[in-house]
Amino acid sequence: MMPPSEATRSVLHIDLDALVANYRLLVSLLSGSRCGAVVKADAYGLGAEKISVALAAAGCEDFFVASVDEGIALRRHLPAKRIFVLDGVDSGDAREAAARGLIPVLNHRAQVEAWMRATASPGAIHLDTGMTRLGLSAADIDSMIASGALDRVRPQLLLSHLACSEDAAQTMNQAQRLAFVRVLDRLAPIQASLANSSGIFLGTDFHFDLVRPGAALYGINPTPNAPNPMRQVVQLKGKIVQLRDVDSPRTVGYGATHRLNGTARIATISVGYADGYLRALSNQGSGHIGNVRVPVVGRISMDLTTLDVTAAPLAACQPGEFIELIGPRNPVDDVAAEAGTIAYELLTRLGPRLARVYEGG
């Protein structure tokens, strides 16, 4: 790992060894099923190229992206792996997808027809089992069987998506699994995929041939009501650019939303909502200097955040030092909770101004 330069504003450390350890943990929970990887949205903001190459080296053969553009970009780095496009294709990009060896997940009849016109290569079929989002209905698939369209597509994978898998007690999980099996029985033999990250932890009945974790790979807790079994992959650090000692009452930041009543020490770091550190963390979030928690005070602005570092050692608060905003002491799920959102949104918002430093792998 190269150290950040003097000009670095803020740093996003990405631990590829932790990523691979998370992948191997998920593989260990399977019995005869393969473990793919969801790397859409630039691998949840962490860099699809580096993430995917590390996972491929660990044995991953199946990758899922959102769009054809994402698939084309990934194909340059994974020339021999299966790359599925979750949003499918239309008449404008079906031929390009076929030429790149991408496998579209066909979500409605127009996509099926566009793919059949473009190529004889097999696609994948998405069955809507209850999300009411993307996907063909069971009636659509019955119609395709009757018309012979399904035979022409020669699907190599049937997949669906669980709506409530993070809640193991939710009855919808079993309802979706049973709806999936009813259609799968009509299409056999065909590979099947139902489980996302949390779905893996619902048990082997949900694993089928291929599981599709995303969030768990990146350290997000797939079992929110239990301790996180995954290793933390991300550490966000903001550089201190100014330290201010306060000896009288005054306010901090836009809108004067935080008031200091006396002696305090305020550190300003060069990370803000333009970097993906959410404005909702204003007066809610926190960082760490060593083991000392330091609260965010005042509103987070576009480029800067202010924290009360009064309790931290003075030597560790000097300009040029860093404050941990996400990391081992401040896991991404906890930071997201402070912002009133989910870790998925927090990770995917982390912006390109952050200096990405990859460790391990």
pLDDT at 303: 97
The answer to whether residues 173 and 211 belong to one domain is: yes
Distance CA 191, CA 243 (A): 58
The answer to whether residues 203 and 300 belong to one domain is: no
pLDDT at 1: 39
pLDDT at 181: 98
User: What H or E segment, with its residue span, contains residue 325?
Assistant: strand 322-326
The answer to whether residues 164 and 263 belong to one domain is: no
Q: Can 81 be counted among the known catalytic residues?
A: no
How many Cα atoms sit within 13 Å of 338 on the Cβ side? 21
Is 19 exposed, middle or buried (CB count within 10 Å of its CB: 0-12, 13-18, 19+)?
buried
pLDDT at 215: 98
The answer to whether residues 212 and 254 belong to one domain is: no
Is 259 within a domain? Answer: yes
Distance CA 241, CA 264 (A): 17
| Domain hosting residue 319, numbered range | 234-359
Is 63 within a domain? Answer: yes
pLDDT at 197: 98
pLDDT at 4: 55
Sign of the Cα torsion 87, 91, 92, 98 reads positive
The answer to whether residues 38 and 181 belong to one domain is: yes
> Which of the following is catalytic: 81, 237, 254, 273?
254
Is 14 within a domain? Answer: no
Return the exposure string of 44-72: e unless at least 16 CB atoms fall within 10 Å of the residue's CB, then b: bbbbbebbbbbbbebebebbbbebbebbb
The answer to whether residues 66 and 106 belong to one domain is: yes
Tens-digit pLDDT string for the chain (361 aa): 344 555 678 999 999 999 999 999 999 999 999 999 999 999 999 999 999 999 999 999 999 999 999 999 999 999 999 999 999 999 999 999 999 999 999 999 999 999 999 999 999 999 999 999 999 999 999 999 999 999 888 999 999 999 999 999 999 999 999 999 999 999 989 999 999 999 999 999 999 999 999 999 999 999 999 999 999 999 999 999 999 999 999 999 999 999 999 899 999 999 999 999 999 999 999 999 999 999 999 999 999 999 999 999 999 999 999 999 999 999 999 999 999 999 999 999 999 999 999 999 8
Beta strands 305-308 and 264-269: pairing type? Answer: antiparallel
Is 80 within a domain? Answer: yes
pLDDT at 144: 94
Task: State the Cα angle at 31 between 194 and 136, rounded to 5°.
Answer: 15
The answer to whether residues 182 and 321 belong to one domain is: no
State the total domains in the chain.
2
> Which of the following is catalytic: 40, 81, 237, 239?
40
Is 256 exposed, middle or buried (CB count within 10 Å of its CB: 0-12, 13-18, 19+)?
exposed
The answer to whether residues 159 and 66 belong to one domain is: yes
Query: What's this model's pTM, rounded to 2 decimal places?
Result: 0.95
DSSP-based three-state secondary structure for 60: coil
| Residue at which a domain ends, from 187, 218, 249 | 218
CATH number at residue 169: 3.20.20.10
The answer to whether residues 204 and 342 belong to one domain is: no
The answer to whether residues 246 and 170 belong to one domain is: no
Is 257 within a domain? Answer: yes
| Residue at which a domain ends, from 218, 243, 272 | 218
Task: State the Cα angle at 125 between 129 and 122, rounded to 5°.
Answer: 170
Is 102 within a domain? Answer: yes
The answer to whether residues 182 and 239 belong to one domain is: no
Cα–Cα nearest to 353, from 212, 239, 253: 239
Kindly report the number of other CB atoms within 10 A of residue 75's CB atom. 18
Is 20 within a domain? Answer: no
Is 7 exposed, middle or buried (CB count within 10 Å of its CB: 0-12, 13-18, 19+)?
exposed
| Residue at which a domain ends, from 192, 218, 244 | 218
pLDDT at 2: 42
DSSP-based three-state secondary structure for 47: coil
The answer to whether residues 300 and 162 belong to one domain is: no
Q: Can 40 be counted among the known catalytic residues?
A: yes
CATH number at residue 278: 2.40.37.10
Kindly report the number of other CB atoms within 10 A of residue 219's CB atom. 25
3 state SS for 162-218: CCCCCCCCCCHHHHHHHHHHHHHHHHCCCEEECCCHHHHCCCHHHCCCEECCCHHHH
Is 8 within a domain? Answer: no
